[in-house]
Amino acid sequence: MLNTRNTKMHGDSFEMKDLTARICREYLHGAWKKVTPHDIGFKHISGGLSNLLYHVALPPYLIDDSKGHSCHEPKEVLIRVYGQTHGEGALEALITESVIFTLLSERGLGPKLHGIFPGGRIEQYINARPLLTRELAIPKLSVLIAQKMAQIHSMEVPLHKEPDWLWNTMDRWLKTCEKKLAGDVPEFARDLLDKVDLNAETRWLKETLERENSPVVFCHNDMQEGNILMSPDADKDEDPRIVIIDFEYCSYNYRGFDIANHFVEWIYDYKEETSYPFYTENPRHYPTEKQRLTFIRAYLDESGSRENVTKVLREVEVFTLASHLFWTLWGIINAETSKIPFGYWEYGVSRLSNYLRLKERLSCNTKIKRKVECLSLD
């Protein structure tokens, strides 16, 4: 039985190389039965913050030996090792994500599934690279992402159709946060967290978002640059092709959350910073109103919708609060427990600070609007 739980999940360590070789021997066929950690092609891929991704390839001499085997035998695969799981719903979430991945694979909307093992899965390796954060702002790529998001939102998936995932996940994470915050917390995080009632903020947020009447659709919920692949030579291609991956957080959810969450990812870079906290934040990179409107128009055109673009823009702005608070909780529960090196406390504080600033700004705008309406009535 494979056990990934006690494996140190650090990049391209020999321990991880040995684990991936064993996974391939046990779950793949043909020449893969002969691989060893000493001869496989092995590369740690910079993926998301919840999982570790590895590109594993047959050695040249085994590729030659495999010519007589099944043509369905892959020559290279992607190994996804799940990160830390939290709470009573974590296992159920992993199972649901695997089912969704399988459905998308069968429909040709995602990578092929080669196998599922305890603690992860084996996927088709796509010769492509994740987008860089700054590439999200390239107009033609932004339009493609909007169109791809609209296509995902139009899918009918055999899952619970109510938008419960967001609130159930946050409620589950809040319980973990209460335990975490009762222990040792860095002073810089404690200074902010002691001023905020996360449970009360979540209740207020739910009431606020429900008033927006955002359509409930099948959402990706984590469409950041690391989950958007593009062919290596796409820079020379006038019509580049992108592929969306990593459906770990997929569920039926509010449309506004998916779009808002994508816009926020423009300001966070998880790849360029190689020292602690392993990310940078640049609020100036948040999409301008013009960029947001271009994205929303492309999304609505692909959806065949004639909705008012300005109305959707307002909806997305309000749902940005949900993105910030959701990932605030994620940062707290992963701090000091995740095996993946990352500044989780710093990230959680960053997202919470942005949440509070945006809440104050939207509140001020609402008060100003009400004053204007009252004056007009007078």
First to last CA, the chain: 75
Cα 80 from Cα 281, distance rounded (Å): 27
| Domain shared by 156 and 274, yes or no | yes
Indicate whether 3 belongs to any domain.
Answer: no
| Domain shared by 120 and 140, yes or no | no
Element (H, E) at 78: strand 76-82
Element (H, E) at 273: none
Q: What is the mean pLDDT of residues 126-152?
A: 94
Q: Which of 71, 99, 124 is the last residue of a domain?
A: 124
What integer pLDDT is reported at residue 374 of this predicted model?
A: 57
Q: Which of 94, 124, 154 is the last residue of a domain?
A: 124
Indicate whether 6 belongs to any domain.
Answer: no
| Domain shared by 275 and 156, yes or no | yes
| Domain shared by 265 and 369, yes or no | yes
| Domain shared by 118 and 156, yes or no | no
DSSP code of residue 80: E
| Domain shared by 259 and 317, yes or no | yes
Task: Kindly report the CATH number assigned to the domain that includes residue 48.
Answer: 3.30.200.20
| Domain shared by 296 and 353, yes or no | yes
Q: Is 166 helix (H, G, I), strand (E, B) or coil?
A: helix
Average pLDDT, the chain: 88
Q: Hey, what are 263's tokens? A: 């816009």
Indicate whether 310 belongs to any domain.
Answer: yes
Indicate whether 317 belongs to any domain.
Answer: yes
Indicate whether 1 belongs to any domain.
Answer: no
Summarised one tens digit per residue, pLDDT across range 49-93 is 668 889 999 999 888 655 555 456 899 999 998 876 555 566 777
Sign of CA dihedral 54, 60, 61, 63: positive
What integer pLDDT is reported at residue 66 of this predicted model?
A: 53
Cα 146 from Cα 291, distance rounded (Å): 11
Q: How many CB atoms lie within 10 A of CB 168?
A: 14
Indicate whether 295 belongs to any domain.
Answer: yes
Q: What is the mean pLDDT of residues 107-116?
A: 83
| Domain shared by 308 and 253, yes or no | yes
DSSP code of residue 53: E
Cβ 225 vs Cβ 136: under 8 Å: yes
Find all residues with CB under 8 Å of 107, minimum gap 6, and list them.
none
Cβ 295 vs Cβ 256: under 8 Å: no
| Domain shared by 120 and 210, yes or no | no
Cα 251 from Cα 46, distance rounded (Å): 24
Cα 325 from Cα 372, distance rounded (Å): 30
Indicate whether 320 belongs to any domain.
Answer: yes
Task: Kindly report the CATH number assigned to the domain that includes residue 301.
Answer: 3.90.1200.10
Element (H, E) at 280: strand 280-281
| Domain shared by 147 and 30, yes or no | no
Summarised one tens digit per residue, pLDDT across range 303-330 is 999 999 999 999 999 999 999 999 999 9
What integer pLDDT is reported at residue 257 of this predicted model?
A: 98
Residue given tokens 């004639």 in the structure block: 306
* Phi and psi torsions of 375, nearest 5°: -65, -40
Cβ 354 vs Cβ 317: under 8 Å: no
Indicate whether 4 belongs to any domain.
Answer: no
Summarised one tens digit per residue, pLDDT across range 160-172 is 899 999 999 999 9
Cβ 264 vs Cβ 286: under 8 Å: yes
Cα 332 from Cα 338, distance rounded (Å): 10
Number of domains in the chain: 2
| Domain shared by 204 and 289, yes or no | yes
| Domain shared by 118 and 146, yes or no | no
117 closest CA partner among 80, 169, 75:
80
What integer pLDDT is reported at residue 239 of this predicted model?
A: 78
Domain span at residue 149 reads 129-377
